[in-house]
């Protein structure tokens, strides 16, 4: 491919990065695959991790491979994030509902207009089927810094220096003003009080969007939303950090019957986030080999090598024009570039709001697919 002629600026950049820009020969890749297979054969406590931001088919192949080879299987998230996801969920609306119904969008420490650059053009500014033309559409940003890129759209409310979980508790008190709640809510800025007392109750379809939260923050926010939805309504959408949503935990649950963080053995599946989450495995220095799949920065493995000096890492990474310094020597860290699912093969991707989207193949790639690599490892 020499030129992309039919794509937006974001799509053009994405497609240009989706070719084999690294200049690695097929022979070089094959030698890396042979070495990786040797590492896997010698491993006694292998763990497969990552694989969140890719296609459904690729995630299913990872779960199947881990099961057949009796590996540990976990996303890169910590124990608290796993437990929070299982208990409280992360979304109750879609981007389509935001486009056609939402008249009040509340951004909590996140910027949809920057995370999804075409959000304004394709979702927010193009009109909605169930919103009249004279209905004002407002964006309120609850943020600790002036990071919102779409300044012309946004009413900013600066968060205080308190922990976010304590501020959410104050919002809860402001909403219900139960016994003892008035005093807790008295210190709230007038703009925050106006949001919860006036704007949310009077909105047609208010939506709160947020990024990753701690377990305590997620618990308190979920309690607040549950209280609001008793007498009014406030929908929720969690914004994934990448273009593809983090739904690996759903694939693990569908294929194994257990949520994230499992260990496959010959005759059973063990599930225990306290023991098999990524951080827990490193703290106990349990794995001797990590098979990482997908867009994980090599620097993320630095802690792993510090915890387990003898650890070996095989990183099946999507090709990129960016050059990263390896976090360890070639004797310990082996990076193998693979083609992007959904670009060179027709796979099912998942949007940030959880809606599946079938991606038609649009590029030929000289790099192997994830499924073909896992098949070679299994021979």
| DSSP notation for 260-293 | SSEEE-SS-EEE-HHHHSHHHHHHTT--SEEEEE
Domains and their CATH numbers in the chain: 25-75+246-378 (3.40.50.740), 85-238 (3.40.228.10)
Q: Which helix (H) or strand (E) segment is 112 a member of? A: helix 112-115
- Residue-wise pLDDT tens digits, 199-241: 999 999 999 999 878 778 888 898 899 889 989 999 999 876 5
**With b meaning 16 or more CB within 10 Å and e meaning fewer, what string describes 15-39?**
beebbbebebeeeebeebbeebbeb
pLDDT for 244 equals 45
Average pLDDT of the segment spanning 70-91: 77
pLDDT for 324 equals 65
Coil/strand/helix, residue 365: coil
Q: Between 160 and 321, where is the model more confident?
A: 160
- pLDDT at residue 263 greater than cutoff 80: yes
Please check whether residue 199 is in contact with residue 138, taking contact to mean a CB–CB distance below 8 angstroms: yes
Fill in the DSSP letter of residue 120.
Answer: I
- pLDDT at residue 243 greater than cutoff 50: no
Average pLDDT of the segment spanning 324-340: 83
pLDDT for 339 equals 84
Q: Between 73 and 301, where is the model more confident?
A: 73
Residue matched to tokens 């739904």: 247
Average pLDDT of the segment spanning 181-207: 84
Q: How far apart are CA 167 and CA 310, in angstroms?
A: 44
> Which range among 143-147, 241-245, 345-349 shows the weakest confidence by mean pLDDT?
241-245
Backbone CA torsion sign across 266, 69, 85, 203: negative
Q: How far apart are CA 341 and CA 157, in angstroms?
A: 39
Average pLDDT of the segment spanning 130-134: 81
Average pLDDT of the segment spanning 182-196: 78
Q: Between 178 and 123, where is the model more confident?
A: 123
pLDDT for 219 equals 82
pLDDT for 132 equals 79
Q: How far apart are CA 77 and CA 240, in angstroms?
A: 13
- Residue-wise pLDDT tens digits, 99-118: 999 999 999 998 888 877 78
Average pLDDT of the segment spanning 271-297: 87
Average pLDDT of the segment spanning 147-176: 82
Return mean pLDDT, the chain: 82
- pLDDT at residue 140 greater than cutoff 80: yes
Residues above pLDDT 70, as percent of the chain = 85
Q: How confident is the model at residue 316 (pLDDT cuts 50, 70, 90)?
A: very high
Average pLDDT of the segment spanning 114-129: 82
């Amino acid at each position: 491919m020499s030129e992309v002629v039919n794509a937006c600026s974001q799509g053009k950049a994405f497609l240009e990065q989706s070719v084999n820009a690294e200049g690695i020969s097929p022979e070089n890749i094959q030698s890396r695959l042979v070495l990786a297979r040797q590492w896997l054969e010698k491993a006694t406590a292998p763990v497969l991790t990552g694989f969140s931001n890719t296609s459904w088919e690729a995630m299913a192949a990872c779960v199947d491979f881990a099961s057949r080879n009796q590996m540990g299987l976990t996303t890169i998230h910590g124990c608290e994030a796993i437990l929070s996801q299982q208990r409280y969920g992360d979304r109750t609306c879609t981007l389509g509902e935001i486009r056609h119904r939402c008249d009040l969008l509340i951004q909590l420490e996140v910027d949809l207009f920057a995370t999804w650059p075409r959000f304004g053009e394709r979702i927010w500014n193009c009109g909605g089927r169930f919103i009249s033309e004279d209905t004002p559409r407002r964006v309120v940003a609850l943020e600790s810094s002036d990071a919102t890129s779409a300044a012309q759209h946004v009413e900013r409310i600066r968060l205080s220096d308190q922990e976010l979980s304590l501020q959410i508790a104050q919002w809860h008190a402001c909403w219900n003003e139960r016994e003892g709640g008035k005093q807790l809510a008295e210190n709230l800025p007038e703009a925050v009080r106006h949001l919860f007392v006036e704007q949310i109750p009077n909105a047609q379809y208010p939506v709160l969007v947020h990024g990753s939260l701690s377990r305590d923050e997620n618990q308190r926010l979920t309690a607040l939303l549950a209280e609001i939805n008793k007498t009014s309504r406030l929908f929720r959408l969690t914004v994934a950090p990448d273009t593809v949503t983090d739904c690996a935990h759903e694939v693990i649950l569908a294929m194994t019957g257990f949520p994230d963080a499992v260990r496959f053995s010959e005759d059973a599946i063990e599930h225990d986030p306290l023991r098999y989450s990524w951080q827990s495995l490193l703290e106990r220095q349990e794995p001797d080999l990590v098979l990482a799949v997908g867009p994980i920065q090599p620097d993320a493995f630095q802690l792993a090598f510090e915890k387990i000096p003898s650890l070996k890492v095989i990183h099946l990474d999507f090709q990129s024009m960016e050059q990263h310094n390896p976090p360890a020597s070639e004797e310990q860290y082996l990076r193998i570039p693979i083609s992007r699912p959904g670009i060179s093969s027709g796979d099912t991707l998942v949007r940030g709001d959880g809606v599946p989207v079938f991606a038609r193949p649009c590029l030929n790639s000289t790099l192997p697919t994830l499924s073909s690599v896992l098949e070679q490892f299994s021979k």
